[in-house]
Amino acid sequence: MRKNLQVFIFTFLIWTTVTSCNRAVSDVENERAGMSNYTAPVATTQTTVYFVRHAEKESSNPNDQNPDLTPEGKARAEALRALMQEVELGALYATKFIRTKNTLMPLSNERNLPIAEYKANDFTGLRQRVLEENSGKTVLVAAHSNTLLPLLNAFGAKTTINFIPETEYSYLFKVTLLPDNTTKLEVNNYN
């Protein structure tokens, strides 16, 4: 009986040493990868995030990396303002580009709501920021054709849309982050 207890204690000590070493190695590997103790943010209350691509942009100068909206784009931004008339928004987010900011400008002006800037390719960072700054609220994000789908993915939404062409401006994605860590996605179009 005593020998069985010694074997058990010895086995337990080896097991705890091995798992502690594995955990330490894993922590070092995660730290090197820039993920030290990273925990994905979780919605504690229902948070709703609308995503749109910026409206039609001026393309007459192919060298212009920061074009404004066309007259059609300005009309679409106004249509977005009208569409969101009944939605109580807690925040507006846009990238540093004129076209995303001006897509949200009619809403910003009407509601005296500032447009918060985010980095276009920091998808998980935007999720974390939205949940930290606007948990339980509804926000609107203006993005780009090549960032909309990765943003939806970062927010936990799955869609059958695989590609958004450069000529497509009408998608309106509504992502609802629920407290049980599930996500609901609605896809609509607006003109």
CB 51 within 8 A of CB 92: no
Give the confidence band of 191 by pLDDT, cuts at 50, 70, 90: confident
More confidently predicted of 173 and 17: 173
Closest CA to 78 of 109, 47, 49: 109
Task: Count CA atoms within 13 Å of residue 168 on its CB side.
Answer: 14
Q: What percent of the chain has pLDDT over 70?
A: 77
pLDDT tens, 121-163? 999 999 999 999 999 999 999 999 999 999 999 999 999 999 9
Q: Is the pLDDT of residue 4 over 80?
A: no
* 160: DSSP letter: S
Written out in words, the top-level CATH class of the domain with range 47-189 is alpha beta
Q: Is the pLDDT of residue 30 over 50?
A: no
Task: Count CA atoms within 13 Å of residue 178 on its CB side.
Answer: 7
pLDDT tens, 54-90? 999 999 999 999 999 999 999 999 999 999 999 999 9
pLDDT tens, 97-119? 999 999 999 999 999 999 999 99
Assigned token pair, 117: 């800037």
CB under 8 Å to 136, separation ≥6 — which residues? 44, 45, 46, 47
Q: Is the pLDDT of residue 16 over 50?
A: no
Predicted TM-score (pTM) of the model is: 0.78
What's the CA angle centered on 120, arms 118 and 122, to 5 degrees?
80
Q: Is the pLDDT of residue 12 over 50?
A: no
